Amino acid sequence: MRAAGYGRVSTEEQANEGHSLEAQREKNITYIQLQKWTLVGYFSDPGYSGKNLERPDIKRLISEIELGHIDALVVHKLDRLTRNIGDLYNLLELFEKHRVKFVSISENIDTSTAMGRMFVFMLGIFAQWYRENLGEEVKKGMSQRAKKGLHNVTVPLYGYERREDGKLIVKPEEAKWVRWIFEQYLAGIGSTNIAKRLNDMGVRRNRGAKWDQHKVMMTLTNWHYIGKVHWKEADKPEDERIIANGEHEAIIPKEMFEDAQRLLRRRKEGLASRTSYEYVYSGIIRCGKCGGMYKGKYNKQKGTLYRGYVCSNNERYGDCDHSGISEMNLTKLIFDSISLIPELTHWNEYMPHVNEHEEICKLIQASEARRSRWQMAFGDGHMPYDDFAKRMKEEMERAAELEKKLAELPEVTTSRITHEEAMSMVEELKLNWPLLEQITRKQIIQSIFQSITILKEKGKWSITHISLA
**End-to-end CA, the chain:** 75
More confident residue, 450 or 200: 200
pLDDT at res. 229 = 76
Strands (DSSP E) along 116-217, which ranges?
160-162, 168-170
The CA distance from 39 to 24, in Å, is 15
Rounded alpha-carbon distances, angstroms, from residue 17 to 9, 20, 24, 74, 206: 11, 5, 10, 19, 49
The pLDDT of residue 333? 95
Beta strands of 49-94 (E only): which ranges?
72-75
Q: Which of 25-34, 56-65, 90-99, 146-155 has the lowest mean pLDDT?
A: 146-155
Confidence of residue 336 (pLDDT cuts 50, 70, 90): very high
Q: Hey, where are the domains in the chain?
A: 2-130, 160-268, 285-347+416-468, 351-408
Please state, rounded to an integer, the average pLDDT across all residues of the chain. 80
pLDDT of 71: 95
Tell me what percent of the chain is helix, strand and coil, each rounded to the nearest 5: 50, 15, 30
CA-based nearest residue to 92, from 117, 115, 114: 117
pLDDT band of residue 232 (cuts 50, 70, 90) is: low
Kindly indicate the confidence band of residue 454, based on its pLDDT and cuts at 50, 70 and 90. Answer: very high
Q: Lowest-confidence range among 6-10, 143-147, 190-194?
A: 143-147
**Average of pLDDT values for 45-59?**
88
pLDDT of residue 367: 85
User: What is the structure's pLDDT at 388?
Assistant: 79
CATH class of 160-268: alpha beta
Judged against a pLDDT cut of 70, whether residue 233 lies above it is answered with no
Cβ proximity of 117 and 126 under 8 Å: no
- Residue 408: what residue type? E
Looking at residue 352, what is its pLDDT?
44
pLDDT at 346 over 90: no
Does the domain at residues 2-130 carry the CATH identifier 3.90.180.10? no
Compute the distance between CA of residue 256 and CA of residue 274 in angstroms, rounded to an integer: 19
Summarize pLDDT for 421-451 with one digit per residue, the tens.
889 999 999 999 998 888 788 878 888 888 8
12-40 tens-digit pLDDT: 655 454 467 888 899 999 999 999 999 99
pLDDT attached to residue 269: 60
* Residue 129: per-residue pLDDT: 60
Q: What span, in angstroms and rounded, lies between the C-alpha atoms of 283 and 263?
A: 12
Q: What pLDDT does residue 115 have? A: 76
Q: 265: number of CA atoms within 13 Å, CB side? A: 15
Q: What is the mean pLDDT of residues 248-258?
A: 88
Does the structure show a pLDDT above 70 at 382? yes
State pTM to two decimals.
0.42
What confidence score (pLDDT) does residue 418 get? 82
Lowest mean pLDDT among 157-161, 274-278, 433-437: 274-278
**Are the CB atoms for 48 and 19 separated by under 8 Å?**
no
CA distance 144 to 403: 26
pLDDT at position 348 = 42
- Per mean pLDDT, which range of 90-99, 198-207, 258-267 is the poorest? 258-267
Answer whether residue 135 shows pLDDT above 70: no
Please say if the pLDDT value at position 461 is more than 90.
yes
Please provide residue 159's backbone torsions phi and psi, each rounded to the nearest 5 degrees. 105, -15
Residue 456 has pLDDT above 90, yes or no: yes
Of the candidates 454, 460, 452, 450, which has an alpha carbon nearest to the alpha carbon of residue 289? 454
Over residues 179-193, the mean pLDDT reads 85
d(CA 185, CA 337): 29
Which residue numbers are catalytic? Answer: 10
Enumerate the H helices of 294-348 as residue ranges: 312-316, 327-336, 341-344
> Looking at residues 186-214, what average pLDDT do you find?
86
What's the pLDDT tens digit per position in 286-317? 999 998 889 888 777 777 778 899 998 888 88
Q: Within 13 Å of residue 254, how many CA atoms lie on the same side as its CB?
A: 4
Count CB neighbours of 71 within 10 A. 17
Calpha distance 268→181 (Å, rounded): 19
Residue 129 vs residues 126, 134, 139, 164: alpha-carbon distances, Å: 5, 8, 15, 32
Q: How far is CA 57 from the centre of its chain?
A: 38
Residue 114's pLDDT is what?
A: 75
In 3D, which of 284, 287, 281 has the Cα closest to residue 312? 287
pLDDT given for residue 120 in this prediction: 67
SS3 436: coil
